[in-house]
Structure 1
Amino acid sequence: MASGTKKKPTPKKVAKATRGSVVTKRGVPWGTIIAVVGVIALAAVVVTYYLVQSAPKRALAEWVPSASNPDPSTKLSGIVTKTYTGSVHVLPTERVAYDQSPPFGGPHDGYWAACTGIVYPTAVRTENMVHSLEHGAVWIAYNPDKVTGDALNKLKAKVTGKPYSMMSPYPGLDRPISLQSWGHQLKVDSADDPKIDEFITALRQNPNTHPEVGASCDALGPGAFDPSNPPPFDPTPPGKDAKPMDYKGSGGTQQDMGKPSTAPTS
């Protein structure tokens, strides 16, 4: 055999060299890695979005009424509560000598103020607003001299389009903001106060805290209560003919639940 003749590689050596070449050509699976990273990133975005969006609801969870906690509002610092008799009506021409300002219970007009997420631009007759509280609404009153601009817009956002909610200016209010539900009141100084949302969550349509569960908040319309032209707020002190808080009701007034009276109430 000549010294310059090369030996042919054996089949085993050929197979080994081929496998080594394939491994070298495969390299790092960048496509798979990029796909996995993309899936993880998308999942992170979804989870983050959920956490951000659900944060307000989770923060307010303890203020939702339950069988074991029928009135969570009692935990609120500064809350004022009183017990009032419901279904005591006065005529549209009569006033009530309320014991609170703004009032949050007691005798009231037979026609309720529309409370379907309405922001009234002007102050509304108190006797109508109180009737809406009896139906489970929350009323945000504010001092128009102290709440303007961004603060006013923040309050509006809490009411606009929200069922069983209403808002109106209340001239002469002793604090910037006052929240009312039947038998409950909370006054705060800032539209950013978290107690506003806590009050609303605890008391709006809370079946344990208002007399007429299921009663309507819809507008009654012209001749009764027209939300586009509501009866105006009277800033003057009630006269001697104003009805006292223990009044039993006037004859011929509108009955509750939206049904006109067929006979004078006692």
Structure 2
Amino acid sequence: MASGTKKKASSKKAIRAARNSVVTKRGFPWGTVIAIVAVVALAAVVVTYYLVQSAPKRALAEWAPSDSNKDPSLQLAGIVTGTYKGSVHVLPTERVAYDHFPPIGGPHDGYWAACNGTVYTTAVRNENMVHALEHGTVWIAYNPAQVTGDALNTLKTKVQGKPYTMMSPYPGLDKPISLQAWGHQLKLDSAGDQRIDEFITALRTNPNTTPEVGASCDVLGPGQFDPDNPPPFVATPPGPDAKPMDYQGTQGTQQDTGAVMPSTTGTP
């Protein structure tokens, strides 16, 4: 019996030794650990990338108009505002004695400047640009003597391909950059100023500040407004025959309501 017991004990020891040998051969599961670490690292990279890439959009979210904050642009340092009546038109041959330069509202040409991400290389007549503002457009004007190279390209990226935006040189501008929306203006020194994006977010097609929000910004074409050959900007001050800011509209012009003011001179 003793001999049988010893054999059983010896057999159990052999089994334990074999098991321990298998465990030892298996070793630490480095492959599994490495795979888990790689997945966690990849997830961290993805989350970090998202947070970095979305940071500008998230930062601008507070500048979007809402029911509780109808005009966020009023919080911008340096913002200038005014109140103007919409739908008052003048003839293509007439000028308006605007109260801001560049203008931000008031009587304007019956034909709007093309404003779906249009970058003009030459200065454009004020009266056409103001009509585009009435439709909810943001207009970036810049002094061509002060804004060139990388700064100019930075401004272009904020306009090209963006609906209800336009950009043009403005000779004699008293600041390097001036932003316009209907009844709003902000003048700046740098194309890198974050207030440019905040102004655009707050005022582009803002239904609370725009007389004709959502009206067309499409190209009208030759005979009306041709963006390839726009009416030229006139640098000289308006003369005594310029229409005042309280002007009620020229007879014969097509009004935004669809009506034509009575006249024997025809419609522009």
- The answer to whether residue 267 in structure 2 is matched with residue 264 in structure 1 is no
Question: Matched residues in 2 for 1:121 and 1:106: separation?
Answer: 25
| Aligned residue type for 1:26 | R
Question: Matched residues in 1 for 2:48 and 2:254: separation?
Answer: 52
Displacement of 1:252: 2.0
Instruction: Name the structure 2 match of 1:224.
Output: 224
Displacement of 1:228: 1.0
| Between 53-62 and 175-184, the greater mean CA deviation after superposition | 53-62
Question: Matched residues in 2 for 1:96 and 1:142: separation?
Answer: 21
Displacement of 1:216: 0.7
Displacement of 1:45: 1.3
Identify if the C-alpha distance between structure 1 residues 262 and 84 changes in structure 2 by more than 3 Å, giving closer, same or farther: closer
- RMSD of aligned Cα (Å): 1.4
Name the SS for the 2:158 alignment partner.
helix
- TM-score (normalised: structure 2): 0.93
**CA displacement, residues 98-155 of structure 1 (integer Å, 9 cap, x when unaligned):** 0111100000000000000010000000000000000000000000001011100000
- TM-score (normalised: structure 1): 0.94
Q: Which sections of structure 2, spanning at least 5 residues, go unmatched? A: 1-5, 264-268
Instruction: Name the structure 1 match of 2:152.
Output: 152
**1:1-266 matched pairs, under 5 angstroms:** 10-256=10-256, 263-264=260-261
Structure 1 residue ranges (4+ consecutive) displaced by more than 3 angstroms after TM superposition: none
Question: Matched residues in 1 for 2:262 and 2:211: separation?
Answer: 18
Question: Matched residues in 1 for 2:262 and 2:29: separation?
Answer: 84
Identify if the C-alpha distance between structure 1 residues 256 and 12 changes in structure 2 by more than 3 Å, giving closer, same or farther: same
Name the SS for the 1:131 alignment partner.
helix
Identify if the C-alpha distance between structure 1 residues 179 and 240 changes in structure 2 by more than 3 Å, giving closer, same or farther: same
Displacement of 1:265: 5.8
Displacement of 1:255: 3.1
Question: Matched residues in 2 for 1:252 and 1:177: separation?
Answer: 36
Name the SS for the 1:117 alignment partner.
strand
Equivalent residues, number = 257
Tell me the percent identity.
77
Name the SS for the 2:226 alignment partner.
coil
Question: Matched residues in 1 for 2:205 and 2:67: separation?
Answer: 15
| Aligned residue type for 1:94 | E
| Between 7-16 and 237-246, the greater mean CA deviation after superposition | 7-16
Identify if the C-alpha distance between structure 1 residues 106 and 265 changes in structure 2 by more than 3 Å, giving closer, same or farther: farther
Displacement of 1:61: 1.3
Question: Matched residues in 2 for 1:265 and 1:23: separation?
Answer: 100
Displacement of 1:262: 6.0
Name the SS for the 1:151 alignment partner.
helix
Q: Which sections of structure 1, spanning at least 5 residues, go unmatched? A: 1-6
| Aligned residue type for 1:101 | F
Name the SS for the 1:28 alignment partner.
coil
| Between 179-188 and 42-51, the greater mean CA deviation after superposition | 42-51
| Aligned residue type for 1:174 | D
